[in-house]
Amino acid sequence: MQPFSFLFLLSGEKKYHIIWETLDSEEATYIWDTERSRDALRVTLDQIEEIISGIKKSGRQDYLKQEHPNFSRIWHDYSDPKKGFITWKGILDERLM
């Protein structure tokens, strides 16, 4: 996808967090939470694969117009280059369980 993006997995104390991030863009960071089990993780990853395919076809706005349990996003705000990453990281840390 353009811009270049990737998924990564973080393990919180209570949940897994699958994060979709873009490089060199002002896109938001997308976060999906799931139970900490292999089965739940597999199901969630399959769902995210479908979501990303749908976003490629119809755009992000169609996805974002709907309610999605266990989904959140963090806006990228780099208006102050010295605080942009720090602000983003602080919000991310608050959401990880």
Residues 6+ away with beta carbon under 8 Å from 58 = none
Instruction: For 19-47, write each residue's pLDDT tens digit.
Output: 999 776 667 899 999 999 999 999 999 99
pLDDT band at 2 (very low <50, low <70, confident <90, very high): low
37 φ, ψ to 5°? -140, 155
Q: What is the pLDDT of residue 1?
A: 57
